[in-house]
Amino acid sequence: MASLPLELINTCAALLLLLSFAMLSQRRVLTQVDLYAAQGLVLSVSIFITAWSTHQLHLYFSCGLTLLLKVLVLPLILRRLIHRLDANWETETLLNMPSVLLIGLLLVMFAFVLAQPISELATTLTHGTLGIALAVVMLAFLMMITRRKAVSQVVGFLAMENGLLFAAASTTYGMPMAVELGVGLDVLVGMIILGIFLFHIREQFESLDLSHLESLKED
Amino acid sequence: MVMLLLLSAPLAGALFLGFTGNRRWAPEVNVIVSAATFVAAIWLTGFTLTMGPVLFLGQQFFVDSFNVFLVALTAFVGFTTALFSRAYMRVEVQHARIGGGRLRLYHGLYQLFIFTMLLALTTNNLGILWVALEGAMLATVLLVSLYRTPGGIEAAWKYFILCGVGITLALFGTVLLYFAASKLLGSEGTNALLWTRLEQVRGQLDARVLSLAFVFLLVGYGTKVGLVPLHHWLPDAHAEGPAPVSAVLSGLLLNVALYAVVRCKILVAGAMHSGLAGNLMMGFGMLTMTLAAFLLWRQKDIKRLFAYSSVEHMGIATFAFGMGGPVANFAALLHMTVHSLTKSSLFFTAGQAAQWAGTQVMEKIRGLLKLNPSVGWALMLGTLAILGMPPFGVFTSEFLIVITAMRDHPWATPFLLLTFVVAFGAIFFRVQAIVFGETPQPQLPRGSRLVTVFAQLALVLMLGLYIPPHLAQWYRDAAQLIG
């Protein structure tokens, strides 16, 4: 791969990580959705650059799929859900923000250490992109753990999948077509089901606060 | 051809019932579709008997000795559950626990779930295996919350988030696997994720990448198997959904998730030349079975009790696969088979008892034998079978696992025996009180709806006394393959 595309992909990776941190520290749910859409956009740009520099046709398709699903359809569904549920309040975190960000920082270091031996092997990627992909997954995971509101957990879940897609696109030039289509379909259906759930949760508990969902325990 | 039939029957059934599932005759259609799937599975089994391992449709699907009996088992349990749910769901509608729209949802998603199970078992592509397992979760999550009770919604949400995160980690593992494989097999086309191709080159795959990949795959698919400490979704999902759903979750989904773990283990163990994969599985399995056995004591809900028993048995099977070797693998495969048959029949009888009592709380369900002798005896016999009493098949598999552990890993023997004893104490006396206790209620009319329960228990009994030669041969071949 020529050096210019590599530089561009590195920039995209850095942007992805930055957006993950922004999402982690963001309190408003609607802004989180915007950040998610931005992440999708950066992701599709990075896939496009890979496709363009390696002349792989199926990557163009994958880029289009990402653009359609993660920048247009899913954020649209999320925004409509939030409006209809009237759920755009600030979400409080379980820990205070500085400590969450500090944990996030440690997670990034951990991800890099974990990915180190594999990055060394890779011929297709610059060192670090796999580490960043893993870090994006872990930061999304952290976001799911520290938020009490259902919508934030959904956004975290989707952001996690972004990290994975970036890992697939940067390390192996994307997964086989059939798999990528299947994954996209699963994510879309999952999102729709989660949307249905949010309505059920609010209907039952008259709130989207997940602390109501802790009654099933062994006692 | 037969493969197409096997997969298209439940898929077409799902589409058809998705629109017509609330009609009067829908439960019968559900049974017919499941019967057609079962016939196709038998046909496929016969095909494999004469032809040996086969690839279908341009290598995208395959059947070997490891998945052939699981396909037959899945289709069989899918069929018996459809038979049970015919009567069970009618009563639920009469009790106004669900309406027509949700019955449609139930029937459509039930067939969709069976489709994803069969797809996961027969696909040769590890990426599609992932897609199918995620699809299975999506199909069942709305079934768990079918009653729309607060508990049901909580259980389904937990199920979705925990298994969703887990399965995402498994996708990361799959990406890493693909990364290692595409260096050898090339990333053009879809060859690099085909299991049969990977198996041929497994010795050359990069060990470092695969060890990291296996950790993600084990944690990811292990969440679905219900391995401790990732098991929290399992008892909730089993307890809150309708009884037929609990039966297929326990009898089919856990098996197929374990199948996915073992398929990945074959590749990783081949590449690593060390016992890491096996040791990890042994560790998780050991932790799972002992903890689940002790948690059994704290259960008050009959379906939660049997759900924890499923966790325990999956732990035992995972431990046995972790030990490896011809005898332990043989025992683990047998254990998967008999557990699936026994546990689904237990959920039928427990669900039936809970439906009559109007509660799942064990202290309020009493005198089952007086209410209906056949259900009472079915529950008692099923319980004895699942507790590993001779001469049932579970005894055979557990016995083989214990003697292998004594020989290869003596330190594990006390844990295994402790698990069996603790689980026995927790389950037996509670079920005994339910079956033989006194009840003020009058005797209920006898029904023949539990024929399938006795058929399944008879199969478990048969597997304890005599394993048909073809099945034993498959077990042996698969055990050798797993290594």
- Is A145 at the interface with chain B, CB within 8 A? no
| Helix-helix angle B393-408:B413-436, to 10 degrees | 160
**pLDDT exceeds 90 at position B284:** yes
Nearest neighbour of A179 by CB, restricted to B125, B141, B149? B125
Residues 112-171 of B with CB under 8 A from A: 125, 127-128, 130-131, 134-135, 138, 141-142, 145, 148-151, 153-158, 160-161, 164-165, 168-169, 171
The pLDDT value recorded for residue A21 is 93
Mean pLDDT of chain B: 91
Residue B458 has pLDDT above 80, yes or no: yes
CA pair distance B281, B479, nearest whole angstrom: 16
Contact B175 A167 (CB under 8 A): yes
Least confident of A125-134, B81-90, B396-405: A125-134
Residues forming beta bridges with residue A147, ordered by sequence position? A93
Q: Cβ–Cβ of A200/B148 closer than 8 Å? A: yes
Task: Provide mean pLDDT across the span B99-117.
Answer: 93
Which helix or strand (DSSP H or E) is residue B62 part of?
A: strand B61-63
Residue B238 contacts residue B250 (beta carbons within 8 Å):
yes
CB contact under 8 A, B161 and A196: no
Query: What pLDDT sits at residue B54?
Result: 84
The residue with tokens 């500085």 is A98
Q: Are B158 and A213 in contact (CB under 8 A)?
A: yes
CB of A167 less than 8 A from some CB of B: yes
Q: Tell me the backbone φ, ψ of residue A181, rounded to 5 degrees.
A: -60, -45
> Could you tell me the two tokens for A54?
């390696």
Mean per-residue pLDDT, B129-148:
92
B301 in contact with chain A, both atoms CB, cutoff 8 A: no
Q: Is A206 touching B (CB cutoff 8 A)?
A: no
Listed by start position, the domains of chain A span 3-210
In sequence order, the β-bridge partners of residue B56 are B61
Query: Is the pLDDT assigned to residue B217 strictly greater than 60?
Result: yes
Q: How many CB atoms lie within 10 A of CB B249?
A: 27
- The complex's ipTM works out to 0.90
- Chain A nearest C-alpha distance from B336 (Å): 27
Cβ <8 Å between B125 and A194 = no
Task: Compare CB distances from A118 to B156, B178, B212 and report the shortest one's residue.
Answer: B212
Instruction: For residue A215, list chain B residues with Cβ-Cβ distance below 8 A.
Output: 150-151, 154
Around B11, how many Cα atoms within 13 Å sit in the side-chain half-sphere?
12
CB of B475 less than 8 A from some CB of A: no
Look up residue B190 and give its DSSP letter. Answer: T
Higher pLDDT, A152 or B479: B479
pLDDT in tens, chain A (219 residues): 567 888 888 899 999 999 999 998 888 888 999 999 999 999 999 989 888 888 888 888 889 989 999 999 999 998 988 888 877 666 667 778 888 899 999 999 999 888 887 777 766 555 678 889 899 999 998 988 888 778 888 888 889 988 888 888 877 777 787 788 888 888 888 888 888 888 888 888 777 777 777 777 654
Compute CA distances A145 → A55, A138, A164, B50, whole Å: 40, 11, 18, 52
- The arithmetic mean of pLDDT across residues B141-170, rounded, is 91
Of B193, B155, B158, nearest to A182 by C-alpha is B193
Phi-psi sector, B57: left (phi>0), alpha (psi -120 to 50), beta = left
Cβ atoms within 10 Å of B468's Cβ, excluding its own: 10
Other C-beta atoms closer than 10 Å to the C-beta of A106 total 12
Please give the average per-residue pLDDT across B425-437, as a whole number. 92
Q: State the pLDDT at residue A42.
A: 94
Closest residue by Cα to residue B185 from B198, B166, B167, B173? B198
- The pLDDT assigned to B367 comes to 87
Residues B449-478 have a mean pLDDT of: 91
Decide which of B289 and A59 is more confident: B289
pLDDT (0 to 100) of residue B476: 93
pLDDT > 60? residue B481: yes
Confidence (pLDDT) at B425: 93
Q: How would DSSP label each residue in B431-449? A: HHHHHHS--SSPPPPP-ST
* Amino acid making up residue A136: V
* C-alpha distance from A207 to closest chain B C-alpha (Å): 12
CA A44-A47-A53 angle, 5° bins: 140
Instruction: Count the Cβ atoms, other than its own, within 10 Å of residue B124.
Output: 23
pLDDT in the model for residue A89? 67
Give the count of alpha carbons within 13 A of A32, CB side only: 29
Three-state SS string across B219-240, please?
A: HHHHHHHCCCCCCCHHHHHHHH
Q: How many residues are there in chain A?
A: 219
Q: How near does any CA of chain B get to the CA of A183, in Å? A: 6
Sequence spans of domains, chain B: 276-483
Residue of higher predicted confidence among B183 and B44: B44
Q: What is the pLDDT of residue B189?
A: 59
Q: Name the residue in chain B with its Cα closest to that of A177.
A: B190
Q: What's the whole-number mean pLDDT along residues B397-401?
A: 95
Confidence of residue B108 (pLDDT cuts 50, 70, 90): very high
What are the phi and psi torsion angles at B301 (to 5°)? -100, 130
Q: Both tokens of residue B443?
A: 């005797």
